[in-house]
Structures are given as structure tokens and as C-alpha cells.
Amino acid sequence: MRNFKLYIIGAAITMTGCSKYLDKDPIGILTKEQVQVDPTEGTVRTGIENAYRPLSYTLNIYGNWDWNGGLVVRPDFLLEDIASGDVIKKWSPDGDQAWMDDIANFNFTPENGAFAGIWKYNYEGISRSNTAIFQLTDPTTLAKLNIQDEQRTRLLAEASFLRAFFYFDLVKLFGDIPLLLKPLSNFNEAYEVAVRTSKVEVFKQIKEDLNIAIGGLPNARFSSDSEKWRASKGAAMALLAKVSLFEEDWKGVVAQVNAIEQLNFYDLNVNYFDAFDDSKAYTERENIFIYDHQPGMQPSRGNGFTALLGWGFIAPSADFLNSFESGDPRKSLTVNITDQQIYKLLGAQNGSFKGNDNSPVNRIYIRYADILLWKAEALIKDNQVAAGIAIINKIRQRARGGDNSLLPDRASNASATDAMAWLQQERRVELGFESHRFSDLRRWGIAKQKLNSLGKPFADKHMLYPIPQAEVDKTVGKISQNPDY
């Protein structure tokens, strides 16, 4: 079955009248090599492995140095870290990649490559996941595959998790989005699905996919001992908890994190930096879902984001540095100001991978400290303030690295208002440079206050990013633009 990607559907619809799209072949249609007329278990597995690719920091997987299109590297760092004011584009300001400066300055336009890039990365992953899900559920295709039911269940669970992950990333950035749940056989089908679905319905579908994933993935920390990077039951449970967090279902968050804790697969590492240390990948206890980068592979699978650091990109803002309490060890483990090195992104407390466009450093998406802080937030919001503060203190106790003169415990009898302020502070310093901050500010309802205080012109419309203008144009406005863009 030919699979037409959502983000390109209008490129061949002549009624658009947008000649700048009509003179190009539709981007993203499967190549002859990718079309699986007679799929096998091996090709289905390969298809699912390819569905992971949009999560990578590998350079140029969709374009040839297309900076302005947001396609050189996955642009999470722009949409979460730079937009939040925690990160500035470069250590030494210059005019390079001015479209990145537009994100920092809240000059958001629907043509900006940051929005087009993340849209393409995520819908590419969705399309590949849809192909695998179709192959693993369609009776005719299954008859050709002749796959063992246990294996089919696990692969379907894995593909369902990935689809949920990509949709969650899109809905938190853009709000209502097109919901595509099957491969498309022609452009008429593609045009029909080019409408925005309410985020309530998208969240519903995400939860359905995650429940399939939770039910079908092995009851183990790693779903595969030989390929430990694959999505796991814990990862699916964690993402379900995060959905509850964004839906403000506080009891759901607590219940889901409790269930993860009962698995006994994860814990806070004794040493804060172990989660980021490339030499300790898969031996530390904290990381729940990562993208596994491997150098020297064909096609390339290395981390190219470390190359950007060698070109002077990615530096901490003064406000971020000043947010750390005196003596907080996490500050120097996150960034070395003197040598201009972001240790957490380099995967080592030195510059060994800096400038490397094919490094082994993994991309961390979910780790245990993150989900504990979700639970703390939910408890505070659910009027179990002391229990929430106890979790904050657990994070602080690990952070101080055995030096009890640092980061004293927060008072357990504090108000919910104080507890939330502490929670927000703790997430900022614990998770700095991990691409969570801007979404945190928006869902807490404090983005305007915080960013205006930094001189950034955050307005109400910035609660959502603009839909890429190309998607609006290609579909003659069927995919409508977010308000005020």
C-alpha cells in the first residue's frame, strides 16, 4: 500500500493554486524500496525501527542542510529551551540562523522552520507507525506475515507507543491537529483527513494507543535485552502519566506514577550526572525512554546535535544560571561556563564529543526524576501538599550529592502556593536543557508573567505555536491556522 504523508498531502492537489508547491514531487511518499507489497516479519520490524528515526538528533535525515526548513536537526531545543529563555542561541551572539532568533524574540510566523520542522518530524513518525499498525492488524496482511501472536502483540504495542508519543508532542505544541490513523492509498483520502481534530479527541486516541502498548509490552525494564533502546512498558506508563498531567487529572498522575514505582525498574541514580553519562548508558537506573544514537552506522544514526555545540550553538541564559541556589551541584554538572560546554548534552564532563556530528550520546526523553516531579505536582494540586513536598525533597537530597550543607529540605508544613513555587523551581534546575521548560510555563499559566519579566513579548496567542503555513496553503485552509497568526 502506498502511504501518503499528511504533511505533504496538498502538494499534488491542483485546486490549491499554490504554484510554489505544484512544481515539486510530494515529499514523503514511500520509495519503491519502502513499499512493502509482500511484507515479512523482518520488514515490519525494520519499518518500526524507522519509525524511531524522527526522535533522533541525527543530522539531515530529511533534508540537505535545510536550516530554514527546520530539517537539519530535530528542533525541540528551539521550541522548549530557547523559547523559554533558559537557553540562548549561541555563546557569542551573531546573525547566523536568524530564524532561530525569531523564536527567542517571539516573532513567531507560520513560515518559521522551527514549526515546519517539528511538524514534519512528528508526522513522519506517525505515518511510519501507522503503516506498522496496519500491517499488524489487517487480516489479509497478517495472513502473509504468518507471525507468531506473541511477537505480533509486542510489535503492535511498540508501534502504538510511538504513534502516541508523536501525537502527544504535536498536541502540546499546536493544540487541535489532524488525526491520521491509517496509511493513505490516494490523494483524495489524504485531502479528506486534512482537518484539525480537537485535542480532547487526540488525547483520547493517545490514551487508547498507550493502553495497547502497556498491555502488549513485556513486564521488564527493557522490552528487548539485545535492543535495550526499544520502547518499554515503563515508557508507555510514563507517557500515560504525562498525558494525565497535561489534562490536569491529578489522581490519574499519582495512580500511574505509583504503578511505575511498583514495577521497581527505576530509581534515582546516586549521582545526578549518571543519567547523562554516555559511558553509563543502560547501566544507570533513571532513564525510562531515550533515543539510542550509534556512531559509524549506515544510514547514519549518530547524534549530530553535539556538532552544533562545536559551532558555538546552545548557551545558558543569565536568568537560567541565576536560578540555581548557591552551591547547587547541578549547575556545574549542567554547564561549564569557562570552557563553554553543556555537559548534559555532551554526555560527558569534558569536551570529548563536542563538534562531533556522529557521536554516541543518547537523547533522553523521559527519566525517573521527571516523573517523580509530575507526581509531586499532582499531589500538591490534589491538596496533598506535604506528600508533594516530600518528593521535592527527595530530588534535592539526591542533588546535593551527600553534602548536607547544600539545598536544605523544604518545609513540609508549607502552603500549596509555596509548594508549587518550589516545584516549579525544582523542575527548572533539575531538568534544565532537557526540552521541557516552555511547555511547563504554558501549562502552569505563568508563561506571560515569567517571559514578560525577561523582556520577551509573550502574548496570549503564544500559548500555541502557529500551524506551518505550508500545511494551511496546501489544503486550501482545511487545516486552519491558530488564532491571531
Give the pLDDT band of residue 28 (cuts 50, 70, 90): very low
The residue type found at 127 is: S
Give the pLDDT band of residue 474 (cuts 50, 70, 90): confident
CB atoms within 10 A of CB 455: 8
Give the pLDDT band of residue 184 (cuts 50, 70, 90): confident
3-state percent breakdown (helix, strand, coil) of the chain, nearest 5 = 50, 5, 45
Q: Which pLDDT does position 36 carry in this prediction?
A: 54
Q: Is the pLDDT of residue 245 over 80?
A: yes
Cell output for 261: 514505582
CA 325, chain centre distance (Å): 28
Tell me: the pLDDT tens digits for 302-311?
999 999 999 9
Q: Is the pLDDT of residue 238 over 90?
A: yes
User: With contact defined as beta carbons under 8 Å apart, do 448 and 458 qualify?
Assistant: yes
User: With contact defined as beta carbons under 8 Å apart, do 144 and 138 qualify?
Assistant: no
Segment 273-285 shows an average pLDDT of 98
User: With contact defined as beta carbons under 8 Å apart, do 266 and 288 qualify?
Assistant: yes
Cell output for 183: 496509511
Q: Is the pLDDT of residue 24 over 80?
A: no
Mean pLDDT, the chain, rounded, equals 92
In DSSP terms, which residues pair with 341 in a beta bridge?
Answer: 336
- SS3 (DSSP) at 207: helix
CB atoms within 10 A of CB 29: 17
CA distance 275 to 269: 7
User: With contact defined as beta carbons under 8 Å apart, do 410 and 422 qualify?
Assistant: yes
Q: Where are the beta strands (DSSP E) in 214-370?
A: 287-291, 313-316, 363-367
- Please classify residue 2 by burial: count the beta carbons closer than 10 Å to its beta carbon, then call 0-12 exposed, 13-18 middle and 19+ buried: exposed
Give me the percent of the chain exceeding a pLDDT of 90.
87
Segment 452-456 shows an average pLDDT of 97
Q: Is the pLDDT of residue 11 over 80?
A: no
Give the pLDDT band of residue 408 (cuts 50, 70, 90): very high
Q: Which pLDDT does position 37 carry in this prediction?
A: 64
Distances (CA, A) of 198 to 127, 129, 136, 172: 19, 21, 27, 12
Q: Which pLDDT does position 358 carry in this prediction?
A: 97
Segment 168-176 shows an average pLDDT of 98
In DSSP terms, which residues pair with 287 in a beta bridge?
Answer: 367
Give me the percent of the chain exceeding a pLDDT of 70.
92
Q: Which pLDDT does position 4 carry in this prediction?
A: 43
* Bridge-based pairing state of the strands 287-291 and 363-367: antiparallel
Q: Which pLDDT does position 270 carry in this prediction?
A: 98
Q: Which pLDDT does position 476 carry in this prediction?
A: 86
User: With contact defined as beta carbons under 8 Å apart, do 232 and 223 qualify?
Assistant: yes
Q: Is the pLDDT of residue 23 over 90?
A: no
How many residues are recorded in the chain?
Answer: 485
pTM, two decimals, is: 0.93
Domains of the chain by range and CATH?
1-216 (1.25.40.390), 245-448 (1.25.40.390)
